Structure 1
């Protein structure tokens, strides 16, 4: 898919043309390069098995040097949304989850939201950790930045063997994406937008996350925040069965599954 000369990488799963199938649009986290939607595989599978058509997009593909904030990136995605047709379920992971929440005021009121480790607000500790990764990436050390990110997405009690995570050589494009994506999550507060959303919302975070945890979420009374005990930033891989069950129940309760 293209817009104003920009290619927006996307992967589609599930029944692409099934009549009556609900459509889920998934916004990706910060990745050093587009992974074809692999970052969300357990959840994508759960959505597709429930009968949804799933479109997964590279959130950072809409970014360029003119965009210096999450609000600006969300505005770019607001302009892109009509190209994907009706969206019944907006999903997001990490940066993608933050962008998804920023888009809630621009969606139909009944639109459901599913977020995995998607921050609605930052904190001093979160910003310091994101900035450390961004600074490494921006200084020509993308391999070290990615190695640090890989450690930070693990549960805080995970032990690492010395030298087990050897940094990759510097990749300028990966460094550019990592630096930009991490910095856009600093200084955000989407609390009002999230709480004002009248549609259903499920946010899933890890109880042992070193980055996005319960304190970084926002929800109205009719929304739900579920903390996965012992999990880090990727509960959908660490506790796949539990997360898939949560997603399945959410879809059934909201009438989105077939």
Structure 2
């Protein structure tokens, strides 16, 4: 996967030039292709409804042959942050959340952070489950990898929808993205960087997540980790009203609304 020199896929929502509008930059999770920001739509609506301008970027667009770890991916994004102007709120979902937390030391101290199922550390269970998906994708079975990922992002114990286990044909580009992205989430621990961040931070995780849960988070005393009861890796879709209320309250408390 070679992306050096390419334009980073991005989508902008909300007021482009409204005076006083805070700017939120969102880093995407691992997706088989760029989805234009659809993965974060419920949260984006909450952010734009509060008057923020939101830029959503494809985190994997910074990956090339030399990007073999989360630290390397974060370094790529460190070089790109200046392209987006001032960032008042840095957001991330899953892999994007991990990268966002790795970037906290490079941001202004007052910058707020909003993570949805964004791990601050890996463990043996998370690495094994993501590794299984990566191995399928790298082995020419991207359809099976996506089907397994779909099962893993559901809350623990939920049965898949009828037909959900029928894999799609292999897509080489999707396979490359899935394998590269899943393998980034190995052997990392950003606890110290996150706890040292002086700005506000809200981390949202699902209480029934099969992947990123409460044990994969870290926070300082002025930060908040909120567990959504019964939710999996996508609490913003499973419990949209609850997550939107949390985000709205966070923005008001931190003075980010217009």
TM-score range, shorter chain: over 0.9
Alpha-carbon distance in structure 1 between the residues aligned to 2:63 and 2:5? 13
Report SS of the residue matched to 2:236: helix
Mapped partners of 1:84, 1:209: distance in 2? 32
Q: 2:230 aligns to what SS in structure 1? A: coil
- TM-score, length-normalised on structure 1? 0.98
The residue number in structure 2 matching 1:44 is: 44
For residues 120-154 of structure 1, the C-alpha deviation after alignment (integer angstroms, 9 at most, x for no partner) is 00111111000000000000000000000000000
Residue aligning to 1:58: 58
Q: How far did 1:165 drift?
A: 2.3
User: 1:76, CA displacement in angstroms?
Assistant: 0.4
Once the two structures are TM-superposed, the CA of residue 161 in structure 1 deviates from its matched residue by 5.7
Counterparts of 2:104 and 2:164 in 1: how far apart (Å)? 41
Mapped pair 1:251 → 2:251: yes
Please list every run of at least 4 consecutive aligned residues from structure 1 whose deviation after the TM superposition is greater than 3 angstroms: 161-164
Tell me the residue number matched to 1:124: 124
Corresponding residue SS for 1:7: coil
**Correspondence for 2:112:** 112
> For 2:103, what is the secondary structure of its paired residue?
helix
Measure how far apart 1:186 and its partner are.
1.1
Gaps of 5+ in 2: none
CA drift of 1:103 comes to 0.1
Q: Secondary structure at the match of 2:41?
A: helix
- For residues 202 and 40 of structure 2, the distance between their equivalents in structure 1, rounded to whole angstroms, comes to 16
**What residue number does 1:6 align with?**
6
Q: Equivalent residue for 2:29?
A: 29
Question: Distance in 2 between the 1:207 and 1:165 partners?
Answer: 24
Matches within 5 A, 1:220-235: 220-235=220-235
- TM superposition shift of 1:163: 4.6
Query: Which whole-Å CA distance do the structure 2 matches of 1:81 and 1:113 have between them?
Result: 15
RMSD: 1.0
1:164-175 pair list within 5 angstroms: 164-175=164-175
User: What is the SS of the residue equivalent to 2:12?
Assistant: strand
CA displacement, residues 75-119 of structure 1 (integer Å, 9 cap, x when unaligned): 000000000000000000000000000000000000000000000
CA distance in 2, matches of 1:79, 1:138: 28
